[in-house]
Structure 1
Amino acid sequence: MLVCMASNQQTRPAIGELAKDSATGRIGVVMGEIGGRVQLRPVRGGKEWEALPGDVLSPSAREELSTRLAMRNSDSHVPL
């Protein structure tokens, strides 16, 4: 009898994807990996920060939707 088990292991987000730094709770865009650390950039731009690879996870569906909605809303504000 062959039994298949689902893996509980998450893959780390790739370059250009949204990621959550679980150590800080911040969500950013993966920019790369240097010296054993993952570089993340805030979604609206700004200074990158580094995170340990084990702390970088895919955001939950709710976190990703909230982040994308906030980005879209801020893009729609046009000064009068």
Structure 2
Amino acid sequence: MTAQDVPEVGTVVVDTRSDQLGEVMGAEGPYVQLRPLGGGIEWDVPPRALREATTSDELRAKVREVNASRRWAG
């Protein structure tokens, strides 16, 4: 993605720098703000470091979330 290709708010994308999925919350200056899918603190990403999430990306993130919650369910 380029600076002109800022995704719409609500789009699920991958931060290619960290391989983390996030939901687009907006854009400020040269950055796009992402929020983790399960909620949490937003982070800034340059648009060139984003790609649209695939179905398998989203499934992988959901599996990670379920596995993490089971570890802490005790």
Are 2:9 and 1:15 equivalent residues in the alignment? yes
Q: Structure 1 14/37 Cα, relative in aligned 2: closer, same or farther at 3 Å?
A: same
Task: Name which one, 1 or 2, has greater alpha-carbon Rg.
Answer: 1
Letter in 2 for 1:45: G
Alignment root-mean-square deviation, CA = 2.6
Q: 1:73 & 1:26 partners in 2: Cα distance? A: 16
Sequence identity of aligned pairs in percent?
A: 31
Question: Structure 2 unaligned runs (5+)?
Answer: none
- The normalised TM-score by structure 1 is 0.65
Aligned equivalent of 1:32 = 26
Question: Structure 1 unaligned runs (5+)?
Answer: 1-8
Q: Residues 14-51 of structure 1: CA distance to partner in whole angstroms, max 9, x if unpaired?
A: 21111100011110100010011000001111110000
Point out 4+ residue stretches in structure 1 off by more than 4 angstroms: none
- The normalised TM-score by structure 2 is 0.70
